[in-house]
Structure 1
């Protein structure tokens, strides 16, 4: 490869060039228009309590979507995130209630188990060179089965307050906000900083843009991918804790559609399924957009099946826009 060609590939791998400044503008405008529409349909929509409820409802999927964003930015996808989260939640609950572990140690074990699943995903992708879709599809079934085997199909209740405290709320003006919602927003802020302001974040974008070009420029591609999947797994563990805090139980049936919901949030937020382009702030917007659509339709009395229908249409439109944008960029 000539020096000129290598330079061009390096430029293509740069997140500054790969992410248009307006990549989150479209989702943000869609969010504003959606809010404006539901405001005209329900007087309750803009109340502080209802908006706080929306954030509370999306905090689990939103946290999952942070890990999903990392994976998708590297041109991968994780279908196992919801099942991993469910297993992590059952591990936390069963160790704390059934084995009498201290709550903090049980939480750490649950997050560690989820990170272990992510590590295995990463090893299969990097060392065995299996496609992420196949790896995580298989891991979805593995985690799902282990969750039901380990829990004996039983929902675990009677959890210590230390494990459910993130579901408690505090007053903010006239609105009660849960601590879990604040944690989710803090995780988004941390992820935005790491991806946008650190060399590690720039490497993630470069790998997603062109893994071979990234390797030729000295980026340890396999180590970055391994770190991405492991960190994503740990994030799923935090989502498991938030799920426990919200429901108050360890539920083996939890998270069965959250993998698709997390992908929906990432795609609606403007992150490309082909990797290398997107912002985690867009993922937050995408998660809020889904939450607001479902909340607004509920306030309007629309059946839940239509909520699913509209969400599916939005995902198809978002992917279509991304594909057209990539083709337009390729012609240039």
Structure 2
């Protein structure tokens, strides 16, 4: 039995592989120009009597997710007046969420193509270990910006290479992404433990990096980690919503065979998507080193679950073809606000994970009801 080879797509938009391939691909992925798909346009549901722009906004996943976040903030503000949402709380919530937001941006692309990446926390650890080992042998805590620049390239390159390798296994070897990334989870963590002997070595983070980036603030107000996270979200949010790369991502997640027939090199694109999340895991590794000053080898076993939770809370579909970076941004802050609020009102720590799990299940359930209401078939 033979399989139809993928049709290559020229990198130059002016010279598509066939006269109509690029145009057909753009047409197949047209819904990606908005976080709201045609089924969500609001004109076929309870908002059909409203003006089109308002109906579209109210039907968007991001609007509903933002509503959940607003309700949480309102509840904790009433339950603990003057104690919740102080300037300190806001700063801490944003700083703690920054690394998960960077990872979540990459996971958004992966989930939209109907993939999954369980290795993201281990890739972060491996990237941090290799970058930290370079720093350790080139000045340690006393190293300057030259060492920081090289260690950053090492972290980014490690994540990029690992992600691309997993992408090749998914796209070319046809191994299910769940299996590939589950294996990658163990392999990356194992390599990190082999390199370090299972211990977090000292002096793996530059004091300059920690002082200027980890604890530094733009204009003395906004933590640099938050600036980096927001910048990453903005850049890749625009890429997802307004570029051909983003349209291809949605098209593949919606219908990979239709995308292939329209001229999209599906396999090549999948490799790029998995390479992207690896690259952002490398960036997350440097942010972690900057803030915590250590590789924290044993501290990232649940990063994948936290990031996937944020992406799903943000409205992305695990079946592919649906999601947005804006939704992920909101989704990242729901668990962060929930955890902080429960601490403020004195709820026992063990109940926090229970509450986050309940919110996740309810969010998905409500979204399913909403979708079924719009499309009974």
By the TM > 0.5 criterion, same fold?
Answer: yes
Which is greater in Rg?
Answer: 2
Unpaired runs of 5+ in structure 2?
Answer: 1-23, 41-55, 140-145
CA distance in structure 2 between the partners assigned to 1:329 and 1:99 by the alignment: 59
CA distance in structure 2 between the partners assigned to 1:51 and 1:125 by the alignment: 39
CA distance in structure 2 between the partners assigned to 1:113 and 1:270 by the alignment: 30
Partner of 1:140: 185
| Paired residues of 1:267 and 1:273 also in contact (CA < 8 A) | yes
| Paired residues of 2:122 and 2:185 also in contact (CA < 8 A) | yes
1:163 and 2:217 equivalent? Answer: no
CA distance in structure 1 between the partners assigned to 2:62 and 2:31 by the alignment: 18
CA distance in structure 2 between the partners assigned to 1:13 and 1:224 by the alignment: 17
CA distance in structure 2 between the partners assigned to 1:227 and 1:254 by the alignment: 28
Partner of 1:199: 244
What's the offset of the Cα at 1:220? 1.2
Partner of 2:329: 284
1:185 and 2:204 equivalent? Answer: no
TM-score using structure 2 length: 0.81
User: Which one of the candidate residues 75, 84, 94 is aligned to 2:133?
Assistant: 94
CA distance in structure 1 between the partners assigned to 2:238 and 2:167 by the alignment: 23
CA distance in structure 1 between the partners assigned to 2:375 and 2:193 by the alignment: 47
What's the offset of the Cα at 1:98? 3.2
The one-character-per-residue Cα deviations of 1:161-195 (angstroms, maximum 9, x if unpaired) are 343232123266xx843101110011000111000
Partner of 2:94: 55
CA distance in structure 2 between the partners assigned to 1:25 and 1:298 by the alignment: 27
The alignment partner of 1:14 has SS state of: helix
What's the offset of the Cα at 1:10? 5.5
TM-score using structure 1 length: 0.91
User: Which one of the candidate residues 103, 107, 123 is aligned to 2:152?
Assistant: 107
Q: Which has the higher contact order (CA 8 A, sep 6+)?
A: 1
What's the offset of the Cα at 1:256? 1.1
CA distance in structure 2 between the partners assigned to 1:86 and 1:148 by the alignment: 9
| Paired residues of 1:52 and 1:176 also in contact (CA < 8 A) | no
The alignment partner of 2:299 has SS state of: coil
Partner of 1:4: none
1:254 and 2:254 equivalent? Answer: no
Unpaired runs of 5+ in structure 1?
Answer: 1-6
User: Which one of the candidate residues 7, 17, 24 is aligned to 2:62?
Assistant: 24
| CA distance 1:218–1:251, change in 2 (3 Å) | same
The one-character-per-residue Cα deviations of 1:88-143 (angstroms, maximum 9, x if unpaired) are 11111111113558221112111111111101110000001111111111110111
CA distance in structure 1 between the partners assigned to 2:76 and 2:225 by the alignment: 26
CA distance in structure 1 between the partners assigned to 2:171 and 2:218 by the alignment: 46
Alignment RMSD: 2.2
Correspondences of 1:1-332 after superposition (within 5 Å): 11=28, 14-15=31-32, 16=34, 18=37, 20=40, 21=56, 22-42=60-80, 43-98=82-137, 100=139, 102-158=147-203, 159-164=205-210, 165-170=212-217, 176-328=221-373, 331=376
| CA distance 1:33–1:327, change in 2 (3 Å) | closer
Aligned length: 324
| Paired residues of 1:272 and 1:322 also in contact (CA < 8 A) | no
The one-character-per-residue Cα deviations of 1:71-97 (angstroms, maximum 9, x if unpaired) are 001000110001111111111111111
Partner of 2:11: none
Structure 1, 311-320 or 58-67: larger mean CA deviation: 311-320
